[in-house]
Amino acid sequence: MRRILLALALTLSVVVGIPAAHAYGGPLGIDHRLAYDNAGIWKRTYQVDLAYCEALCTLVAASLEGGQTRFGRTLWQSVDAMTFSSLAAQGLKMTFGRERPSYSP
């Protein structure tokens, strides 16, 4: 009896849930397109400044905390990861990048 109720509940949730998930751009209507916004907090320069500030704050905190504590080691691992990933990304950009048509003569 329990298996029948479980199978019925599963079937009902699939039958009701699939159309509801596709209606209005996803579940609860949260997946909808927004207009392009490059003002306020969404401005690209603010996003880049935030990334630089995060890297600088991590480096300063790692320098102040040192490498002897658990938190300090975590901060230094973050600095190592940021350094390695930025160098790897730049190297891969130079390796696999192509010349843009606007730059060619």
Read off the pLDDT of residues 70-89 as tens digits, 9 standing for 90 and up: 999 999 999 999 999 999 99
Count CB neighbours of 62 within 10 A. 20
- Name the pTM for this structure: 0.59
Average pLDDT value for the chain = 85
pLDDT in tens, 14-34: 777 666 555 556 666 676 777
Rank 4-13, 20-29, 32-41, 67-76 by mean pLDDT and report only the highest. Answer: 67-76
